[in-house]
C-alpha cells in the first residue's frame, strides 16, 4: 500500500489525502492502535502550505 502524499492544506486535496490515510492505516492497523501514533502519522504528512502551519501550531499547543 502506498503511503499518502503530503497534504498542503488545500480543501480540494483533503478527501484524496484522507482516503490515503485511512487506507494505509487500515492495512497497517497494528502500528496505529493508539491516538498518539495515529496523530503523529497524519501530522508527518502535513508538510506543505497551510497544513504545515497548522501542524506547527498543533505541535506547539500539545507539547511542553
Residue 64 in this model has a pLDDT that exceeds 90: no
Q: Residues 7-53: pLDDT tens digits?
A: 999 999 999 999 999 999 999 999 998 999 999 999 999 999 999 99
Per domain, the residue ranges of the chain are 11-22+36-48
Q: Are 41 and 32 in contact (CB under 8 A)?
A: yes
Give the pLDDT confidence score for residue 10 in this predicted structure. 98
Residue 3 in this model has a pLDDT that exceeds 80: yes
The Cα 41–Cα 56 span in angstroms is 14
Residue 5 in this model has a pLDDT that exceeds 90: yes
The Cα 20–Cα 6 span in angstroms is 10
Give the pLDDT confidence score for residue 46 in this predicted structure. 98
Amino acid at each position: 500500500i502506498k503511503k499518502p502524499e503530503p497534504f498542503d492544506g488545500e480543501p480540494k486535496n483533503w478527501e484524496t489525502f484522507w482516503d490515503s490515510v485511512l487506507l494505509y492505516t487500515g492495512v497497517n492497523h497494528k502500528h496505529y492502535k493508539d491516538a498518539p501514533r495515529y496523530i503523529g502519522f497524519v501530522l508527518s504528512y502535513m508538510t506543505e502550505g497551510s497544513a504545515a502551519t497548522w501542524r506547527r501550531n498543533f505541535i506547539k499547543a500539545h507539547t511542553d
